[in-house]
Amino acid sequence: MPRREPGAPTPLPRIKLLLIEDSTHDVELTLLTLERYGLQVDPVVVHDHIGACEAMQQHTFDVIVCDYLLPSSSGIQVLEVAQRAAPETPFIFLSGIFGEQQAVETMRLGAVDYVLKQNLKVLPKAIRRAVLEVREREKRRAAENALEEVETRARLAIQAAEMGVWELSVPSGSVLWDERCRALYEVTPSCNLHLDQVLEHCHPDDRAMLRAKVEQALSCESVFHAEYRVQLSGGRLRWINSNGRSLFKDGRCVRFSGVMQDISERKVATQALVQLTETLGERVEQRTRERDRTWELSRELLGVLRFDMTPINFNPAWEAALGWSRDQIGSLRLWELIHPLDLDATIKETRSIASGNVSTRFVNRMRHANGDYRWLSWTIVPENGLMYAAVRDITDERAVVEELAATNKRLREQIDEKERVEATLQQMQRLEVVGQLTAGVAHDFNNLLTVILTSATFATRDIARGNLDKARTRLEHITDAGERGARLTAQLLSFSRRQRLQPRPVDLNATVRGMQSLLNKALGANIWVEMSLAPDLWTASADLTQTEMIILNLIINARDAMANGPGSVLLRTHNVTVEAAPLRPEDPEPGHYVVFSIVDSGSGMNEDTLLRAFEPFFTTKPVGHGSGLGLAQVFGFAKQSGGGVRIETTLDVGTTVSVYLPRIQGDAVAVLPSPAPVSEPHQPLGSTILLVDDDSTVRTLTATLLESFGLKVVQARNGPDALNMLSPEIDLLLTDYAMPGMTGGELAALVKRSYPQLPVVFVTGYANTDVLGLSHSTVIQKPFSERDLRSKIWAALAR
């Protein structure tokens, strides 16, 4: 029979498992985890409380594992069904929601455990513990039944063994005997005996002993046992074994009773047993041989060692595991075989053992005769200045663990790849939102271009006629239109770029009012926005850009839901205090929140759609018609911000989506970002700027601006030309980032090799400079103003 290691979990036979889970992925992951931790299960998988009821009617299970959230029912309903159908079967909740209150409530209702899906490795332990507890109760129940049966058998045995029952009446000293006792003493049934008369029947050599034991039992509550001889007629003797117990109450003996049995034959047998003790030496020798046999055949490396690792005695398993001969092992100290990297840890462990501590599962490596190293797990007990060791070769087990680690690494890489793909899809979704605004944005840009082209035409004509006053007005119109176009472009780029959340105080009312024009363009001509803004709205903590994108995304969803007719979309803000614990993953935790709600009168959602609404990229639209509800992005934003989201919907009536953002406590007020004042303590007039840009028009205009600042400008059309023009007279490199052949980043890296102290300023039209690797560089965003260019150049030259 295989020997179980100390501390190893109790092996279990196959477990009959009822698993209630609606996700096939979670089912597969759960069963894989149980198999990985050594549990052999026969699973029956159902998806709701109805299927669970049918399964429990048809089968008997060792344990029930149930998801807390189910699509058409709840885990609590399944628990109620289980308590009716299989009340003795342990019930374990498995949930992706962390909530102490839910766990306590489920335990109060009868569940034996509550395991999180994020910590799935705990499930095998919980199942093992629950099954063992049930089986332990069954064992106790069986033991109680067995005890009752033993008591019944004992009564029968007393009768079968011809035992007599006796009782001493303490006040009177009279002895009450049954028929068997009278037969053993060979007295008549009508004879009433006193304790002294009973002692008179005892053999003179045993009488004092019997009297002393009776008096002891009568003086204190104790167990009575005596073996003595009874004198019978004709000089015959009979050995009696009497057992009883005295019971006391308030310090007085109130009952003294017991049984007696004829043990004359046993006494004869005892004499024979004394003769058998002469063979005890042979038996001890046999046991010693058995122990030696176990020592020789054990697959564990058993040994007795000194604290300096010198072996005194060891079994043959050492030779088989390490490949060294018995003479070789006995002639060296085991230090010589230990891996150099494990030597210090082994010395420290032996010092701890020498102090009287027991070592369990200490692991190190020892050199095999072929040069390889074997992993060994040591259990060592110190005694009488020696170490008694039981060592297990775990090299193969380590190989399995390393293979499992490699598999886990591959799994993590696959998860990372999945997250990367999801991030790409989310970026595409953001760009899709911008694409849906194309018509309105194109209209605005056409208006701006009309102003620019018309003003430029009239300005040219006015200059030719010498009418400079009107030309100045025309140029102002062109400047204003350009700035409006820059603001519109920056707003679109903020929606499309990828960025981490940067929470700050946000005034949702001001944010919504500022987006009204953009929202009207997104809704089109047949749908309009109505606003209901709370006047006492708290300040929220959120990323402003992401908040604007979420509002726009939800407005577009509302527009798509109202495709069958004109109407209005209500955008409402209000304060909410949540007290109840969340029941669904998207629900907010208890706390104070600032809420904005989008209310439409569209098609609404049925129950199935609502259950899947937050699945990434789930859509009810045909292929090619957009991302649909897109609520996975809303869910992620709300949860990352520390809030939540809720949906209230009625089919063919409409939908309300409410996003909860955490309130900022205290007196924090929302402020709009404003440019920091530029300090110009020193304007290095006459400095030389190397200007690099592949667009000749942009390069010429930028050079003109720089010269107007009092700077000297050297122009280069690309990176190679700039390297040829580079000299110690250059005070600053101003380069466009995106250029053919050599980017601005590559040019800057080459320049830094020769002139590491030369300041570099990048010019780019890209919104996400982190992607370009410019997060720690000085960057001027196109289009730029004269003030932006001057402030960045002065700051760079000042350094």
**Which pLDDT value is given to residue 723?**
92
Q: Do 789 and 762 meet the contact criterion of CB atoms below 8 Å apart?
A: no
Asked whether the predicted pLDDT for residue 3 surpasses 60, the reply is no
Q: What is the mean pLDDT of residues 401-413?
A: 88
Q: What is the pLDDT of residues 411-463, one digit of tens each?
A: 888 888 887 877 776 666 556 655 555 655 665 666 667 767 777 777 787 78
Maximum separation of any 2 CA atoms in the chain, in Å: 165
**Which pLDDT value is given to residue 155?**
65
With 0-12 / 13-18 / 19 or more C-beta atoms within 10 angstroms meaning exposed / middle / buried, residue 55 is buried
Work out whether strand 237-249 and strand 174-177 pair parallel, antiparallel, or are unpaired: unpaired
The pTM score is 0.33
**Which pLDDT value is given to residue 677?**
44
**Which pLDDT value is given to residue 4?**
47
Q: What is the mean pLDDT of residues 141-164?
A: 75
**Which pLDDT value is given to residue 204?**
92
Work out whether strand 174-177 and strand 193-194 pair parallel, antiparallel, or are unpaired: antiparallel
Work out whether strand 359-367 and strand 712-716 pair parallel, antiparallel, or are unpaired: unpaired
Q: How far apart are CA 178 and CA 187, in angstroms?
A: 11
> pLDDT band at 112, cuts 50/70/90?
confident
| 67 phi/psi in degrees, rounded to 5 | -65, 145
**Which pLDDT value is given to residue 2?**
45
Q: What is the pLDDT of residues 475-509, one digit of tens each?
A: 777 777 777 676 566 555 544 444 456 788 999 99
**Which pLDDT value is given to residue 498?**
45
> pLDDT band at 183, cuts 50/70/90?
confident
**Which pLDDT value is given to residue 628?**
44
Q: Do 224 and 258 meet the contact criterion of CB atoms below 8 Å apart?
A: yes
Asked whether the predicted pLDDT for residue 474 surpasses 80, the reply is no
**Which pLDDT value is given to residue 679?**
44
> pLDDT band at 775, cuts 50/70/90?
low
Work out whether strand 644-650 and strand 654-662 pair parallel, antiparallel, or are unpaired: antiparallel
Q: What is the pLDDT of residues 192-251, one digit of tens each?
A: 888 888 888 899 999 999 999 988 988 898 899 998 999 988 889 889 889 999 899 888
Which of 105-119, 301-315, 337-351, 466-480 comes out lowest in average pLDDT?
Answer: 466-480
Q: What is the mean pLDDT of residues 48-55?
A: 88
Tokens of 596: 């904005």
**Which pLDDT value is given to residue 477?**
73
- 256 in helix, strand or coil? strand
> pLDDT band at 681, cuts 50/70/90?
very low
Q: Do 478 and 515 meet the contact criterion of CB atoms below 8 Å apart?
A: no
Full set of structural domains in the chain with CATH: 15-139 (3.40.50.2300), 161-262 (3.30.450.20), 298-393 (3.30.450.20), 400-493 (no CATH), 499-662 (3.30.565.10), 688-798 (3.40.50.2300)
Q: Which one is predicted more confidently, 770 or 174?
A: 174
> pLDDT band at 668, cuts 50/70/90?
low
**Which pLDDT value is given to residue 646?**
92
Q: What is the mean pLDDT of residues 49-74?
A: 87
**Which pLDDT value is given to residue 519?**
82
Please, which contacts does 119-125 make with residues 24 or more away whose CB atoms are closer than 8 Å? 120/29, 120/30, 120/33, 121/33, 121/37, 123/30, 123/33, 123/34, 123/65, 123/92, 123/94, 124/33, 124/34, 124/37, 124/38, 124/39, 125/37
Q: What is the mean pLDDT of residues 769-786?
A: 74
Tokens of 404: 């499992």
Which of 32-36, 208-212, 370-374, 477-481 comes out lowest in average pLDDT?
Answer: 477-481
**Which pLDDT value is given to residue 621?**
63
Asked whether the predicted pLDDT for residue 593 surpasses 90, the reply is yes
**Which pLDDT value is given to residue 97?**
76
Asked whether the predicted pLDDT for residue 95 surpasses 80, the reply is yes
**Which pLDDT value is given to residue 676?**
39
Q: What is the pLDDT of residues 158-181, one digit of tens each?
A: 666 678 888 888 888 888 888 888
| 714 phi/psi in degrees, rounded to 5 | -110, 125
Q: How far apart are CA 586 and CA 584, in angstroms?
A: 6
Q: What is the mean pLDDT of residues 317-330?
A: 84
**Which pLDDT value is given to residue 535?**
92
Q: Do 492 and 548 meet the contact criterion of CB atoms below 8 Å apart?
A: no
Asked whether the predicted pLDDT for residue 292 surpasses 80, the reply is no
- 597 in helix, strand or coil? strand
> pLDDT band at 624, cuts 50/70/90?
very low
Q: What is the mean pLDDT of residues 313-325?
A: 85
Average pLDDT, the chain: 82
Q: What is the mean pLDDT of residues 603-631?
A: 67
Nearest Cα neighbor of 187 from 230, 235, 240 is 230
> pLDDT band at 717, cuts 50/70/90?
very high
Q: What is the mean pLDDT of residues 616-635?
A: 60
Angle at 311 between CA 308 and CA 315, to 5 degrees: 150
Q: What is the mean pLDDT of residues 248-266?
A: 87
What DSSP string describes 115-133? EEGGGTTHHHHHHHHHHHH
